[in-house]
Amino acid sequence: MKCKKAFFWFVTLCFANLFFVANAQNSSVVLKNGWEFRQEKTAKWNATTVPGEVHTDLLNNKLILDPYYRDNEKKLQWIERKNWEYKTSFLVTPAMLKKKNTELVFDGLDTYATVYLNGKLVLKANNMFRQWRVDVKKYLHPGTNKLVVVFLSAQNVVDLLAKKDLPFVIPDNPRVYVRKAQYHFGWDWGPKFTTCGIWKEVRLESYDEKEAEKPFVPSRKIELVQQPDSLGKSFYFKIDDKAVYMKGANYIPSDAFLSRVTKKEYEKIILSAKDANMNMLRVWGGGIYEDDYFYDLCDKYGINVWQDFMFAGTMVPGDKAFFDNVREEVKYQVKRLRHHKSIVLWCGNNESDEAFKNWGWQKSMNMSKQDSTRLWKDYVRLFQDSIPKWVKEVDPSRPYISSSPLFGWGREKSYTEGDSHYWGTWWGLADIENVQNKTGRFVSEYGMQAMPNYSSIEKFTLPEDRHLFSDVLKAHQKAGNGFMKLNSYLDRYFIDSTKVKKMNVEDYTYLTQCLQYYSLKNIVGIHRSKAPYNMGTLVWQLNDCWPTASWSITDYNNRQPKAAWYAIREAYRDDKVAEIDLKRPKDLPLEDPQISWKIIGNEIIIKATKPAKYVYVDIKDYTGKLSDNYMDLEAGKEMRISFEGKIIKPVIKVTSLYDVLNRYK
């Protein structure tokens, strides 16, 4: 009887802690359950989820408040300055030990991690983007084995590395020293949560002989055509010998905490691109090399991927250790992703080249000529010499460019050759109409801000926060002078600035979304009208990583469309010419449209007695996507708007541009 109980306990523990896949050649045991974590050298261990990160672990244990609520972000900065420990126990069977080799495999450690197995140091990791493998057969024994992972504060480490280099300074932030998602250090659309954790799968792989690597065979022919012509130099993609006009968006990580991005979330996001008639997403270089499922969906839905390597707006260290680390990262990621037919371009970095040449670092940092030369040489050595060589060794089939873009929007060449990031609108406060004379060969970034959906604002604020411009609203606006810029455009296109300060947050939100709609509709229309001179338009940005005022055309919560998503969907259609209508809404003669509506089944039937602009239909607590919104209505003509699912006693609110502007006469 005791033997039976012991056997039952052994089997139960195996399945509680391990997920086991095996065949005659090898076995793989996923270490998924039974993990605990604590702040280093404190007493109490708490349950944790792997994959995950320390912020979500703290939240799930109710040790911190919601990081996205109100201004909690600034109250949680202490987390990134601490070290954190994770541990688990697992069973090793005699069958596993009979194999010649057993490797401990971490698909992702974020970032400075020291790994101990049964009290022995087996691994030191320092790159979030690499897979880490270590032979551990000699450290294993039958029965229970103990695994501990200690994470050092990435912020503390990079600060020390930067201090060690003084007086030499690498622009523009100490984050450049660490191979970690750069947006974790804060961005102009995202919070600063410099997190850590076991962010991808952990497993034991036992084998006698490793399976041979399958040879890579490209699934299609991809060319990036950059040929001199009478106007400059072309920049367009040919897929299987056919020139393709690219319509799409820039993609950032979909959450500040990556473990929250489930397959369901990926499906929502990629479908939001597909349904908006996009055929390209640019995976931006300050985030991550995305999950395989992201690329699977892009493969499935015919969305081409422009893949940045994970460098954004900075120069780089030039030491051998850094280069060796990046080499392993590049080779691992390209080999992991190269079989995805959706990937059409490898790009070295986001904006680093133009940043060095145009952002004034040399002057603002009082940089010596010697230091400036050193920085540029290290940059060239990595992005123009090393990375293309490393890529070619594992994927010679796809084009590579060193940086996006090569020429900043203040230089004439940005409109005649290469790809361009046109930020004369927004950052330069230029009128939307200026795009007519500032359209490049392939515009890979441009945008206009808007507030998040008002339903999101209600979720992260208290009633007393909902006034312009409360501290909490400011905490969810990361762009420099963001509200000033929004107000400047509202003043020119929608309503006098003297009236803005009198607005309630809901009306202000509506108008900023109308502004984003108007801006992107016309910018895309202008870009597309200039084909084949222009052969691509990628709006900044598709998605958000938390609820915030940003350039995103979808909302963080439920990935619901913002107004501009509907504008993009229409502007990216191939069955009609993209519309350009530069008449400023502020100058329109608006009358009370007297809108009426009724619901029949899954449709809202809406009608106006007078022409109506930017008609917005809001269904309280609805989390789906309406077939149309922010549309114009013709007088007396019904419009049918469908919604998903069944809504019991829906509370519907319909708003037009007349309604909002009339309130502030």
Phi, psi (degrees; rounded to nearest 5) at 613: -110, 145
Which pLDDT score is estimated for 212? Answer: 86
Over residues 643-653, the pLDDT tens digits come to 987 788 889 99
Name, in order, each residue with C-beta under 8 angstroms of 20's C-beta and a sequence gap of 6 or more: 14, 27, 28, 29, 30
Residue 4: Cβ-neighbour burial (10 angstroms; 0-12, 13-18, 19+):
exposed
CA distances from 586 to 131, 234, 515, 631 (A): 55, 38, 11, 17
* Of residues 517, 527, 451, the one with CA closest to residue 248: 527
Side-chain half-sphere of 513: how many Cα atoms within 13 Å?
31
Q: How far apart are CA 95 and CA 80, in angstroms?
A: 41
Side-chain half-sphere of 506: how many Cα atoms within 13 Å?
12
Over residues 485-532, the pLDDT tens digits come to 999 999 999 999 999 989 999 999 999 999 999 999 999 999 999 999
The sign of the torsion formed by the CA atoms of 421, 426, 429, 434 equals positive
Cβ atoms < 10 Å from Cβ of 26: 17
Name, in order, each residue with C-beta under 8 angstroms of 209's C-beta and a sequence gap of 6 or more: 25, 100
Claim: this prediction has a pTM higher than 0.85: yes
CB 516 within 8 A of CB 448: yes
- The helix/strand/coil state of 197 is strand
Residue 274: Cβ-neighbour burial (10 angstroms; 0-12, 13-18, 19+):
middle
CB 521 within 8 A of CB 562: no
Q: How far apart are CA 410 and CA 626, in angstroms?
A: 39
CB 633 within 8 A of CB 612: yes
Over residues 591-607, the pLDDT tens digits come to 999 999 999 888 999 99
> What DSSP element (H or E) covers 664?
none
Q: How many residues does the chain have?
A: 665
Q: How far apart are CA 16 and CA 9, in angstroms?
A: 10
Q: How far apart are CA 72 and CA 85, in angstroms?
A: 24
Number of H helices, E strands in the chain: 19, 34
Spell out a b/e string for 115-127, using b for 16 or more CB atoms within 10 Å of the CB, else e: bbbeeeebbebbb
CB 502 within 8 A of CB 664: yes
Which residues of the chain have a pLDDT value below 70?
1-25
- The helix/strand/coil state of 374 is helix
How are beta strands 246-251 and 280-283 bridged, if at all?
parallel
> What DSSP element (H or E) covers 40?
none
CA distances from 153 to 156, 314, 342, 543 (A): 5, 21, 36, 28
**What ranges make up the beta strands (E) of 297-430?**
304-308, 343-347, 400-401, 419-421
Q: How far apart are CA 128 and CA 112, in angstroms?
A: 8
Q: How far apart are CA 232 and CA 366, in angstroms?
A: 35
Provide the terminal-to-terminal Cα distance of the chain, rounded to the nearest Å.
87
Residue 72: Cβ-neighbour burial (10 angstroms; 0-12, 13-18, 19+):
middle
Find the angle CA(110)-CA(108)-CA(158) to the nearest 5 degrees.
25
* Of residues 402, 425, 599, the one with CA closest to residue 526: 425
Q: How far apart are CA 293 and CA 316, in angstroms?
A: 30
For residue 608, the cross-strand partners are 635
Q: How far apart are CA 622 and CA 453, in angstroms?
A: 12
Q: How far apart are CA 99 and CA 104, in angstroms?
A: 14
> What DSSP element (H or E) covers 58?
helix 54-60
Name, in order, each residue with C-beta under 8 angstroms of 380's C-beta and a sequence gap of 6 or more: none
CB 245 within 8 A of CB 536: yes
Which pLDDT score is estimated for 170? Answer: 94
